[in-house]
Structure formats: structure tokens, C-alpha cells
């Protein structure tokens, strides 16, 4: 084998190697492990039980277009319930995953769900701006998904404005139809608004009609509509009737590792999962 072929094989092996992450051990879990004598078992030659370790690295939930034929983005799940002192570390891991996909010739946007209360802190916004600037990623790959309405709108709006000037795109997750939220979405030209599928299942006809009007108004402003927690085929049918742009949930594909994201659209298994389509034609939006 020639030296050039050896280098090529080494590079390809490195690119296809699954990524391994290191996690900080929380103090309470470490003390519990010591109290149960698990450390003593390890010193005696034992091994860690995989079933007791909840971390598997399957934190990246793929977001597809409505037919499920194209990957449109990824939602970073650990930030949904992250503590205040671990949000920046999770953001760094999410940005690092974008670099990993970019090196694999995959330009995939990432949505980082962040609690709006964190954006009210100046130090947190400063650190997040530094992460965005130091990443040197193209505009559009780093997206922030806001989880709920801020209690102090002035401080949070200032943080949103600073990140927006850096080219960060914003999404509103779990949209409830609040007028103040709609005003914020319009003022900052949010990239997308995400609806919870359960809200469409358990809503009355009057609420559905109001929701349809809001969806139509968002589309006129150029804002995309996403549907989260798509679990049943009925959710997919409703998405077709409302003209939803993005869908994600267990019906589409469960969260996977960042290495599996690279091969989602290249594998036969991924293409088989994309075959979920409703046979009904889209109905007029007022007939829901």
C-alpha cells in the first residue's frame, strides 16, 4: 500500500469514528455512588453497569420537512431541562456538533433551546455572544429556540437583539398564541414558530380556527411553522391540512447521536423511515 493510500485510509477511519463525549459528574450522584459501594466494586475489578448510566449521547432530534424526505435541522434536547450552570457547556457541545457536521460536508442547522430567563442575565448573554463569535460558523447554522415568555421583557429583548445582530436565528418553541409573544416574533422576524402536536389534538373548534388564523398570518410574514412531538399518524395528517413546514417527533425519528445525524439521509434505514406519508390530499385549511 502506498503512503498516499495509507493517509487516505487513516483520514476516512477518523471521519467515520463515533464521537465520545465526557460528562461532568454531579456531586449528589457521586456521593450516592460512594454510599452504595459502587466505587469499591470498580476497584475490585468490576465494571460499570450500562443500564444505570442514562447518558447515551442520543441527544440530537432530527427535524424534517413535511414529507420527511429532507433533513432541515436538529434540536439539541439536553438544553430543554438544563440547569442554569450547565447551559453554556451544552451550548458549546451543540456548536461543536455543528463543526463536526460541517467537517463531514453536512451543513445542518442546530436549534439550541434556551430558557428566556437566562437571556435576562448580561453575563450569560456576553458569554453566549463570545461562543457565537469564536465559532466562526456561517450565519444560519446557530439557532436559538425560546421556551417561554420572559418575565422581564426589557432585559430579555436586549439580549435577543444582541444575538440577532450577530446573525443568530430565533425560533419560538411550544407556541401558545400569546399576543405579546406574537409581537416579539414579528418584531425580530423569527425564523420559525413551533406548535405542540398535543395542542392540536385536544383543542376545541374555536381554538383551532384561531390557531389557523395565526398560522396564516405567520406565513404571510415569511415565518416557518414547525410541529413538535409528532407521535401519531393523525398528527401527520393534521400537519398536511395546516400546511406545516417542519415536523419532528417519535413518528419521524427518535433522537440519535451526532455521528448518526451524518448518515441519516444516506442509509437505507433512514430512507425507510422517511416513507411515512398520508394518502389523503391536503384539505382546505378552514375545514379542520
For residue range 83-99, what is the model confidence (pLDDT) as tens digits?
888 999 999 999 999 99
Query: 3-class SS at 237?
Result: helix
Q: Give which of 159, 21, 191 is closest to 96, Cα–Cα.
A: 21
**Dist. CA 153–CA 237, nearest whole Å:** 36
Count of other CB atoms within 10 angstroms of residue 144? 26
Helix (H) or strand (E) segment spanning residue 260: helix 258-262
Is the pLDDT at 170 greater than 50? The verdict is yes
What percentage of the chain carries pLDDT values higher than 70?
A: 70
Joined together, the cell numbers standing for residue 136 give 466562526
**Dist. CA 111–CA 37, nearest whole Å:** 40
Domains along the chain with CATH numbers: 59-287 (3.20.20.450)
CA-to-CA dists, residue 76 to 54, 61, 134, 250, angstroms:
16, 7, 20, 15
Is the pLDDT at 44 greater than 90? The verdict is no
**pLDDT for res 15:** 60
Backbone angles phi, psi at 131, to 5 degrees: -65, -40
Which residues on adjacent β-strands are paired with residue 73? 63
For the chain, helix, strand, coil in percent to 5 are 50, 15, 40
Backbone angles phi, psi at 18, to 5 degrees: -60, 145
Which residue has cell 444560519? 140
**Dist. CA 35–CA 47, nearest whole Å:** 17
Task: Read off the DSSP letter of residue 137.
Answer: P
Average pLDDT over residues 57-61: 87
Whether pTM > 0.85 for this model: the answer is no
Which tens digits make up the pLDDT trace of 138-150? Answer: 989 999 999 877 6
**Dist. CA 48–CA 66, nearest whole Å:** 41
Confidence of residue 263 (pLDDT cuts 50, 70, 90): confident
Q: Give which of 261, 203, 197, 228 is closest to 62, Cα–Cα.
A: 261
Which is more confidently placed, 187 or 34? Answer: 187
Nearest 5 degrees, angle CA 127-CA 129-CA 134?
Answer: 95
Backbone angles phi, psi at 239, to 5 degrees: -60, -40
**pLDDT for res 125:** 93
**Dist. CA 13–CA 16, nearest whole Å:** 5
Task: Read off the DSSP letter of residue 106.
Answer: -
**pLDDT for res 123:** 92
Pairing of strands 110-114, 71-76: parallel
Amino acid at each position: 500500500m502506498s503512503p498516499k493510500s495509507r493517509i487516505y485510509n487513516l483520514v476516512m477511519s477518523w471521519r467515520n469514528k463515533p464521537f465520545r463525549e465526557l460528562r461532568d459528574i454531579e456531586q449528589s450522584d457521586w456521593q450516592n455512588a460512594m454510599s452504595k459501594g459502587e466505587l469499591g466494586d470498580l476497584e475490585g475489578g468490576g465494571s460499570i453497569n450500562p443500564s444505570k448510566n442514562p447518558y447515551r449521547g442520543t441527544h440530537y432530534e432530527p427535524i424534517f420537512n413535511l414529507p420527511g424526505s429532507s433533513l432541515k435541522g436538529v434540536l439539541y434536547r439536553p438544553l430543554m431541562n438544563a440547569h442554569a450552570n450547565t447551559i453554556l457547556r451544552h451550548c458549546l457541545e451543540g456548536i461543536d456538533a455543528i463543526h463536526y457536521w460541517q467537517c463531514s460536508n453536512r451543513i445542518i442547522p442546530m436549534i439550541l433551546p434556551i430558557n428566556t430567563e437566562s437571556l435576562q442575565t448580561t453575563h450569560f448573554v456576553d458569554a453566549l455572544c463570545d461562543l457565537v463569535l469564536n465559532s466562526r460558523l456561517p450565519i444560519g447554522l446557530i439557532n436559538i429556540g425560546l421556551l417561554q415568555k420572559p418575565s422581564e421583557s426589557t432585559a430579555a429583548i436586549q439580549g435577543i437583539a444582541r444575538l440577532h445582530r450577530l446573525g443568530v436565528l430565533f425560533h419560538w418553541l411550544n407556541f401558545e398564541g400569546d399576543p405579546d409573544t406574537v409581537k416579539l416574533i414579528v418584531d425580530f422576524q423569527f425564523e420559525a414558530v413551533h406548535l405542540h402536536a398535543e395542542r392540536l389534538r385536544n383543542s376545541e373548534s374555536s381554538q383551532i380556527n384561531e390557531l389557523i388564523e395565526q398560522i396564516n398570518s405567520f406565513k404571510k410574514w415569511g415565518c416557518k411553522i414547525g410541529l413538535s412531538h409528532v407521535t401519531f399518524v393523525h398528527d401527520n395528517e393534521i400537519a398536511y391540512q395546516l400546511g406545516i413546514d417542519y415536523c419532528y417527533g417519535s413518528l419521524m425519528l427518535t433522537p440519535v447521536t451526532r455521528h448518526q445525524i451524518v448518515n441519516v439521509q444516506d442509509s437505507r434505514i433512514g430512507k425507510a423511515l422517511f416513507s411515512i406519508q398520508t394518502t389523503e390530499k391536503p384539505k382546505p385549511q378552514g375545514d379542520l
